[in-house]
Amino acid sequence: MSSNGTSPAPRWAALARDTNETKIQLAINLDGGAFPDDTDSRLIESLKAEGHASQSSKSQTISLNTGIGFLDHMLHALAKHAGWSLAIVCKGDLHIDDHHTAEDVCIALGYAFAKALGTPTGLARFGSAYAPLDEALSRAVVDLSNRPYSVIDLGLKREKIGDLSCEMIPHCLQSFAQGARVTMHVDCLRGFNDHHRAESAFKALAVAIRQATSRVAGREGEVPSTKGTLTA
């Protein structure tokens, strides 16, 4: 509840991003639940079909179809544990390789996140989390700083996982940080299995983002900065 007794405004966004390399439709709600009214009709149609990674629960709708199964799997983990509703469809130039699709989806996700978040007042701002997946353990530290910066060390050894090149996995996280204008440090601390290492990193990031974007009771409308602003 905000200070005037009404429910807080929905933190949601929809966008379409069309280039010669990729055509993306995306909708996000940072608090789960419904998508905004201006969600692209092509995306609404796709929600009726099964995506590569789809899940609908009481609190979240997640539907991902980027054309890259392992990317869908990672974004599914991110959305699920961040508490988002998230729908993405991408038609990209996969006949070339996975680079443009993976990068552009993550840039678009970052833009949508920033748009949904708006001016970050009344929020925790910082978030950090560890997430294990069996033998793998990752740590993510996030600051909703409006200063895009990322340090990513996942130590992946394979050439690719499924159809996603391992070199694209840190590039995806970096692209998200740029689009979202957040500072984030994501490290995989240990683990033998690259699928586990990558997935634990996305889960740690999800939990850290959920913490950073959480509303702090009693601080409604306050900018969590000694500078008094996070937009200058």
Closest to Mn ion by CB, 40 or 103: 103
Give me the least distance between CB of 99 and Mn ion, in Å please: 6
Closest to Mn ion by CB, 127 or 170: 170
Give me the least distance between CB of 171 and Mn ion, in Å please: 6
Residue closest to Mn ion (Cβ) = 103
- Alpha carbon distance 88, 22 (integer Å): 12
Closest to Mn ion by CB, 72 or 103: 103
- Alpha carbon distance 221, 36 (integer Å): 23
Structure tokens at 46: 């796709």
Give me the least distance between CB of 146 and Mn ion, in Å please: 22
Q: Which residues contact 111 (CB under 8 A, 6 or more apart)?
A: 15, 17, 179, 180
Element (H, E) at 64: strand 61-65
Element (H, E) at 202: helix 194-212
Q: Is 27 helix (H, G, I), strand (E, B) or coil?
A: strand
Closest to Mn ion by CB, 105 or 129: 105
Name the nearest CA neighbour of 183 among 202, 215, 205.
205
Give me the least distance between CB of 168 and Mn ion, in Å please: 8
Closest to Mn ion by CB, 82 or 102: 102
Residues that bind Mn ion (CB under 5 A): 103
Give me the least distance between CB of 103 and Mn ion, in Å please: 5
Closest to Mn ion by CB, 156 or 207: 156
Give me the least distance between CB of 92 and Mn ion, in Å please: 13
Q: Which residues contact 221 (CB under 8 A, 6 or more apart)?
A: 2, 3, 121, 122
Q: Is 173 helix (H, G, I), strand (E, B) or coil?
A: helix
Helices and strands per DSSP (H, E), number in the chain: 5, 11
Name the nearest CA neighbour of 9 among 110, 119, 146.
119
